Structure 1
Amino acid sequence: MKNKILFVVCLLFGLMFINAGLNKFFNYMPMPKDMPESLMKLMGAFMSISWLMPLVGTVEVVGGALFIMQKTRALGAIVILPVMVGVLLTNLINAPSGLPIALVLFVINIWVIIENREKYLPMVR
């Protein structure tokens, strides 16, 4: 039962990141109207760095796809972790209204890392 729940959660998590990554290339989701001023300035700064959004989008798509498949889930969790930390800090500092979903996603990512900890041990020994 635990494996089925983990699969469904990982599938939704991965699809969410694939969607977010593809949006960075195709801009099909509109920006919310009620975004805080500080977040608008931050997004403007990010957009001024021409290579940053395509890089983050690529990491999100690749990490999300890896996260879905059980065989590559451990790698996907590590690939997504820096993006997830950025999402968490951005919501913590600039947009606290998005913090609950960011925390849930962060916990899912940490859960998968903990579940796959034996795969990381050879790297730290």
Structure 2
Amino acid sequence: MNSKLTLALRLLLGLILLVFGLNKFFHFLPMPLMEGAPADFMGALGKTRYMFPLIAITEIVAGVLLIFNKWTGLALIFTAIISVNIILFHLVLAPAGIALAAIVAILNVILMYANWNKFKTLF
């Protein structure tokens, strides 16, 4: 795969993760109002008082690792876990926000394919 394309996709995914991870701490992006099951789910995660910080730190660490091209394999594994949960949340509870979730998942799959030599031993 073209190294410039891979670089651009890696930086894009890293920036997305970094921005949304930091947003969980600093609330600089407006959050859509949720009702029903999505609000209940987010409320339950919030009541644990550890889940949102854990998700945010994981996103920030993965984003920084991707931006600086360090431990890319580990960062993509973290991102895969995050991507699956984002996709499932939007498929099951809030389909309106599936577009960004799909972008993150697609970027993750493309980058895992581009770095497949780092994952061969896992499979």
Fold match by TM threshold 0.5: yes
Do 2:63 and 2:75's aligned partners in 1 also have CA atoms closer than 8 Å? yes
- Tell me the distance in 2 between the aligned counterparts of 1:104 and 1:24: 19
Give distance in 2, aligned partners of 1:25 and 1:43: 15
TM-score, length of structure 2 as denominator length: 0.88
- Per the TM alignment, residue 23 of structure 1 is displaced from its structure 2 partner at its CA by 1.3
Identical columns (%): 32
Which residue number in structure 2 is paired with residue 41 of structure 1? 40
Give every structure 1 segment of 4 or more consecutive aligned residues whose post-TM-superposition deviation is greater than 6 Å: none
Work out whether residues 36 and 95 of structure 1, in 8 Å CA contact, stay in contact via their aligned partners in 2. Answer: no
Partner of 1:18: 18
Residue identity opposite 2:61 in structure 1: V
Count of residue pairs the alignment pairs up: 123
Unaligned runs of 5+ in 1: none
> Over aligned residues, Cα RMSD in angstroms?
1.8
- The answer to whether the 8 Å contact 1:67/1:75 transfers is no
CA contact 1:67–1:74 (8 Å) conserved in 2: no
Structure 1 match to 2:65: 66
Aligned to 2:98: 99
TM-superposition CA deviations, 1:5-63 (whole Å, max 9, x none): 22112112111111111111122222214x34221111111100111111111000001
TM-score (norm 1): 0.87
2:9 maps to what in 1? Answer: 9
SS at match of 1:31: coil
Contact 2:9 2:111 in 1 (8 A): no
Contact map agreement 2:6 2:114 (CA 8 A) in 1:
no
Q: Which amino acid aligns with 2:85?
A: G
Q: Where does structure 2 lack aligned partners over 5 or more consecutive residues?
A: none
Question: Which letter maps to 2:46?
Answer: M
Shift of 1:122: 3.3
